[in-house]
Structure 1
Amino acid sequence: MPFSIEGADLVTIGLLVLLEAALSADNALVLAVLVLPLPKRQQKKALQYGIVGAFAFRVLATLFAVHLIHMDWVKLLGGLYLLYLPFKHFSQHGSGGGDSHPLAKTLFGLSLFWTTVVRVEGTDIVFAIDSILVAVGMSRKLWVILTGGLLGIVAMRLLIGQMLSLVGRYPAIVDGAYVIVAWVGVKLVLEFLHALRVIGFEIPRAISIGIVLVLFALSTVYAVFIKKPGKEPPPPAVDPFMDIPGPPARPKRRGSEKG
């Protein structure tokens, strides 16, 4: 089919970008939670690596979109993993282990930074499947689907930056973010069960997004007005290429010097 640009194609691209942005209300919060264990400069770097992987996966997955219909098991694995994260988070808080982050553990012998990049990439794959299938249903032109999807990824990354700034200003909002992560996990598991026809209902996107917005509003009110952030000293400077800052150097005692 020869390459052609029509007015309807531009409208479709705009709709795909808006669709990706609308679906990013929960996606952005989940990805923001995933990079929380990293220093701030590494958070941005991990998301930059993640967006490159998301672009590559989006292109390949769009080319083979017909096979994504048979990947419902990906939703099950993603949903169970997202349910595990808040369970680990709140169980550690309840047992007095709130100082350790549930995502601070490394995988496959990788550093914390690369472990986080792997988590971001895997989560991107889970979230991208629905968007790609919807895009394929809206247009048959490959360049329209790719353009709308890739611009949508950029919009989602901008939204993640805003989420990270809010979490940095009000740390208590992290608890609310984990509640939203749990809801997203439940939604993915329900979608998997619906695909297998185990259950006969499916949660509409409008209701799902509404629940996310309500949970986010409640957690923001809790963090800002109920559990106000205390005035703490600024954290020590951290090398963005190191996972854990080294111990401070001990000052020499004058009495130990021989005169």
Structure 2
Amino acid sequence: MFGLEMPPLTAETWAILGTLVLLEGLLSADNALVLAVMVRHLAVNVQRKALAYGIGGAVVLRILGVLLAAFVLEYWWLRAFGALYLAYLAVSHFVKKGHSEEEAAGSARGRGFWPTVVLLNLTDLAFSVDSILAGVALIPAGMPREQGLTIVVIGGIVGLILMRFAATIFLKLLNKYPAFDNVAYALVGWIAVKLGVETLEAAHEVFPAVPTLHLPTPLFWGVMAAIAIIGSFIATRRPAMSEAEAEARAEAIVHRMDETVADAADGRVDGR
């Protein structure tokens, strides 16, 4: 079930991988930002310990998410749930009030150590499902499952790498231009449309009474490009802070996570 096969490196494959890098970068940075905020209410001597569990949970859940993708690719009705979930994420992002950092801090405030750890891992789960389902949705309908799963695995690995090595770049981007979050979720919403259309096509093969639609590949990627270009133009018009402030804030978060990983490596996750 978990066989992998390298897909042909066509223009569409590169476009898929490029989109995954962008989404994984933004979502991973958003994840890191939220995790850092959610432990602020804890005592200083246990903040790193909670954050270490959160980072560990992100790694484990990402691996489990890749395994789950094999089942999503196999059954059309799971793809239907995936399409609905991605659509819900996009819609809820644009209709909710308040900033994600403020919501994260508010949801964690007043909780003890272990309830905070549980909340951190539930947050990790949401981000892992987001990125994995986006990877599944980007796979062309006619691509063999083994090749599609390979793309999802690559996306999962990219997400883990970006969460550490490119975190400063994407955190700086989100700090200076918070509206880039909107670009990411607008892309997720359009990807949900693609997955929904393909789900209807698959369901039509099993139940002919189900209405079917078709989304031409050039149209899908044309809209993706339009969202990225127009969204980036709008997002960069009003920076929320200066270049120096955005970089300092990003480096502070990454430095804190580096210290957490170093502590975990030598058994001092409580910072002592």
TM-score, reference length from structure 2: 0.56
Q: Look up the match of 2:123.
A: 119
- Render the CA deviation track for 1:133-166: whole Å, top value 9, x for unaligned: 3335363142x33333212212122223255435
Rounded to whole Å, the distance in 1 between the matches of 2:241 and 2:185 is 23
| Structure 2 unaligned regions, length at least 5 | 40-46, 198-218
1:157 to 148, 160, 175: 160
**Distance 1:34-1:86 versus aligned 2 partners, 3 A rule:** farther
| Alpha-carbon distance, 1:84 to partner | 6.8
Rounded to whole Å, the distance in 2 between the matches of 1:164 and 1:214 is 22
Does structure 1 residue 133 correspond to structure 2 residue 137?
A: yes
Cα-Cα RMSD: 5.0
**Distance 1:163-1:137 versus aligned 2 partners, 3 A rule:** same
1:49 to 48, 51, 57: 57
* 1:162-181 superposed matches below 5 A: 162=165, 164-165=167-168, 174=175, 176-177=177-178, 179-181=179-181
Q: Are the aligned partners of 2:86 and 2:192 in contact in 1 as well (CA < 8 Å)? A: yes
Give the letter aligned to residue 176 of structure 1: Y
Q: Look up the match of 2:241.
A: 222
Q: Are the aligned partners of 1:34 and 1:103 in contact in 2 as well (CA < 8 Å)? A: no
1:59 to 67, 73, 81: 67
Give the letter aligned to residue 77 of structure 1: Y
| Alpha-carbon distance, 1:74 to partner | 0.8
**Distance 1:209-1:190 versus aligned 2 partners, 3 A rule:** closer
Rounded to whole Å, the distance in 2 between the matches of 1:82 and 1:11 is 33
Q: Are the aligned partners of 1:80 and 1:189 in contact in 2 as well (CA < 8 Å)? A: yes
- The DSSP-based 3-state class of the residue aligned with 2:62 is helix
Rounded to whole Å, the distance in 2 between the matches of 1:9 and 1:188 is 23
| Structure 1 unaligned regions, length at least 5 | 93-97, 246-259
Q: Are the aligned partners of 1:75 and 1:189 in contact in 2 as well (CA < 8 Å)? A: yes
- The DSSP-based 3-state class of the residue aligned with 1:112 is helix
Q: Between Structure 1 and Structure 2, how many residues are aligned?
A: 222
- Render the CA deviation track for 1:81-112: whole Å, top value 9, x for unaligned: 5347771458x6xxxxx9x93453488x9522
